[in-house]
Amino acid sequence: MATLTLNNVKKSFGKTDVIHGVSIDVDDGEFIVIVGPSGCGKSTLLRMVAGLETITDGEVQIGGRRVNEEEPMARDIAMVFQNYALYPHMSVFDNMAYGLKIAKVEKSEIADRVAQAAKLLQLEPYLQRKPRELSGGQRQRVAMGRAIVRKPAVFLFDEPLSNLDAKLRVQMRLEIRALQRELGVTSLYVTHDQVEAMTMADRMIVMNGGVADQIGKPLEVYANPATEFVAGFIGSPPTNFIPGTLLGRSSDIKIGIRPEHVTISENGSLKARVTYCEALGAETLVHLISADRSKITVRQDAVLPLPVEGAEVGLNWAQANEMNFDQAGNRLAV
């Protein structure tokens, strides 16, 4: 168990800056999700913590110890990858035990640690099978078991669920979160999936072009996004953005409004044309386009009547639910 500190961590490849200075103090046992689109720098940040990428500037501390110059093996971390990284010719037991054997741990202790992890992960019936005889979810459990038996100070997860189907991803994210809470190990988890971030994180780091746009608890980030990017990335369906003006400002702004805060009514203040409707069972998403070509989504309860596609309707929302952003994408205090 350990704390983790990133102090203005930066990364450059030649003259190209890819991480522009990320700082966070992670508490012992905290689950941090690094989330953002492809190319935002989230995996690079994780690899710098792991020691797989050199740090251009700044400092990484694990348990209060500076680890910038330490090899990955010396950092007391364990990593779970997207592609499982299992040895195909080894049994489940041998895959889980391999790291301990390399570290010259006693055979009896190896057997005990693997048995405990296998019980925790419900892998006991599969210990003598090869990876090819397992499902995707079982292989991911083996990869997690290999990390658990090492009893690391920090777990690092690099998009571990990306290769699984949608239903299994839901199941596995619940299992990973429950397991992390039971073990109490400080964890960094990288994903491009904002639903994973919202449902799993104690806190999240929202990355945008190598910058940590916002760090905070999921519901706080959702309710009070610091930038236009965060407002548009966190939340499904994403925030609507409509051109607007703000009294006392010389330049135009963008008004952000979440789909669940917009209602359709005959006398709505904004007119828009219905392009199509998605009936999803418990809710319906109504997609519209306004006269200024702004695309707008309304989330409404399924019991409400569906508007006719092609019809012009009015849209309303409470001013208290508006989020205002300047032309640079920064949140404005109103």
pLDDT exceeds 70 at position 99:
yes
pLDDT exceeds 80 at position 231:
yes
**C-alpha R_g of the chain:** 24
pLDDT exceeds 60 at position 191:
yes
What pLDDT does residue 266 have?
A: 81
Q: Contact 159/201 with Cβ under 8 angstroms?
A: no
What residues contact 327, with CB distance under 8 A and at least 6 apart? 251, 252, 253, 254
pLDDT digits (tens, 9 = 90+) for 49-82: 999 999 999 999 999 999 999 999 899 999 998 8
What pLDDT does residue 251 have?
A: 66
What pLDDT does residue 188 have?
A: 96
pLDDT exceeds 70 at position 248:
no
Confidence of residue 249 (pLDDT cuts 50, 70, 90): low
Q: Which residue has the tokens 């348990």?
A: 63
What pLDDT does residue 165 have?
A: 85
pLDDT exceeds 70 at position 243:
yes
Of the options 3.40.50.720, 2.40.50.140, 3.40.30.10, 1.10.3720.10, the CATH number for the domain spanning 240-325 = 2.40.50.140
Q: Contact 176/145 with Cβ under 8 angstroms?
A: no
Please give the average per-residue pLDDT across 318-334, as a whole number: 91
pLDDT exceeds 70 at position 247:
no
The CATH T-level fold of domain 4-231 is Rossmann fold (3.40.50)
DSSP SS3 for 173: helix
Average model confidence (pLDDT) across the chain = 92
Q: Which of 78, 46, 50 is nearest to 149 (CA)?
A: 78
Query: In the chain, where are the structural domains located?
Result: 4-231, 240-325
The more confidently predicted of residues 114 and 268 is 114
User: Range with the lowest mean pLDDT among 1-15, 74-88, 227-241?
Assistant: 74-88
What pLDDT does residue 154 have?
A: 95
Confidence of residue 28 (pLDDT cuts 50, 70, 90): very high
Label residue 64 exposed, middle or buried (CB < 10 Å: 0-12, 13-18, 19+): exposed
Please give the average per-residue pLDDT across 14-42, as a whole number: 95
Cα gap 176→166, rounded to integer Å: 15
User: Range with the lowest mean pLDDT among 31-40, 47-56, 165-174, 193-202?
Assistant: 165-174
Q: What pTM, to 2 d.p., does this model score?
A: 0.90
For the chain, percent of residues with pLDDT exceeding 90 = 76
pLDDT exceeds 80 at position 220:
yes
Confidence of residue 169 (pLDDT cuts 50, 70, 90): confident
Confidence of residue 285 (pLDDT cuts 50, 70, 90): very high
Which H/E stretch holds residue 232?
helix 228-233
Q: What phi, psi does 125 have (nearest 5°)?
A: -75, -10
